[in-house]
């Protein structure tokens, strides 16, 4: 499939065929797309929570029961659902974990380059701590991972829906996220479109290139 075809074939799926399940080897590719997503200074300020059975989906679904019923059906009929969470704090211990991983992955030819990487990353984090914008910064990075996930799903012919229509406090409570310095930002349901999903047949609508793009 060409990139253009993937971009027009994918859409926000409104109704899933609950009898179809994503093969685990394909789902593993989607998790890898999340893991390999880029972030500012490689800080990876995120965590992803997967629900691949009825119990897990019901836990996530609770946050859509009262006010977002149509999203509840999507979660329960999906093959897999993922909650994309942003870190609300980036303590030194977390930054050291990132640094150790980079060391293990062979990113540092010299001790000097290791120290410099840590200094630059910590500098960015300190700035955001000063401005009280760590959470907002993490969320910006998280939406890059969302884009990677949606495009990868399209490439793998998996249907998906990004969902912001849920009760964030309720989901944070259900998954015990606050005490882990995490907050749920967006849910993504994944699976296969139902044959009668009307949204699949609607044409795409976007503002024109003239409105959206200009040149410096
Ligand atoms: C961050 C985000 C949150 C969204 N939240 C919901 C949602 O709660 N429920 C829903 O049905 N669609 C949701 N959508 C889908 C959008 O309405 C959809 O992507 C948009 O209308 C463009 O259509 P397309 O994705 O089919 O091309 C969301 C999309 C994004 C990117």
186 CB within 6 A, ligand 1: yes
56 CB within 6 A, ligand 1: no
What is the atom index within ligand 1 of the atom nearest the CA of 199? Answer: 26
9 CB within 6 A, ligand 1: no
Q: What pLDDT score does 200 carry?
A: 94
Q: Which segments within the chain are labelled E, that is strand?
A: 46-51, 80-87, 159-163, 182-191
Virtual CA dihedral for 95, 100, 101, 107, nearest 10 degrees? 110
Q: What pLDDT score does 192 carry?
A: 98
Residue nearest to atom 22 of ligand 1 (CA): 12
| 10-residue mean pLDDT series, the chain (216 residues) | 93 97 98 98 98 98 94 98 98 98 98 98 98 98 98 98 98 98 98 95 96 97
Question: Apex CA 33: angle with CA 139 and CA 78, to 5°?
Answer: 85
- Give me the residue label for tokens 């926000």: 12
Distance CA 154, CA 9 (A): 7
Q: What pLDDT score does 131 carry?
A: 98
First CA to last CA distance, the chain:
33
User: Which residues are designated catalytic?
Assistant: 14, 74, 164
Q: What pLDDT score does 145 carry?
A: 98
Q: What pLDDT score does 1 carry?
A: 78
167 CB within 6 A, ligand 1: no
Helix axes 134-155, 24-35, angle to 10 degrees: 140
pTM for this predicted structure: 0.97
């Amino acid at each position: 499939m060409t990139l253009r075809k993937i971009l027009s074939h994918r859409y926000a799926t409104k109704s899933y065929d609950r009898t179809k399940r994503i093969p685990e080897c394909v789902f593993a590719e989607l998790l890898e797309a999340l893991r390999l997503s880029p972030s500012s200074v490689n800080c990876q300020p995120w965590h992803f929570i997967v629900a691949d059975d009825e119990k897990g989906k019901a836990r996530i679904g609770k946050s859509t029961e009262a006010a977002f019923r149509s999203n509840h059906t999507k979660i329960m009929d999906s093959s897999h659902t993922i909650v994309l969470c942003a870190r609300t704090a980036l303590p030194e211990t977390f930054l050291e974990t990132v640094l150790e991983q980079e060391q293990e992955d062979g990113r540092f030819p010299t001790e000097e380059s290791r120290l410099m990487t840590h200094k630059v990353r910590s500098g960015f984090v300190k700035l955001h701590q000063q401005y009280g914008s760590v959470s907002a910064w993490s969320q910006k990075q998280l939406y890059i991972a969302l884009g990677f996930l949606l495009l990868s799903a399209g490439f793998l012919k998996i249907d998906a829906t990004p969902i912001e229509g849920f009760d964030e406090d309720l989901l944070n409570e259900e998954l015990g996220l606050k005490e882990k310095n995490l907050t749920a930002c967006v849910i993504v349901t994944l699976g296969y479109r139902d044959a009668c999903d009307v949204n699949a047949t609607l044409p795409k609508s976007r503002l024109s290139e003239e409105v959206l793009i200009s040149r410096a």
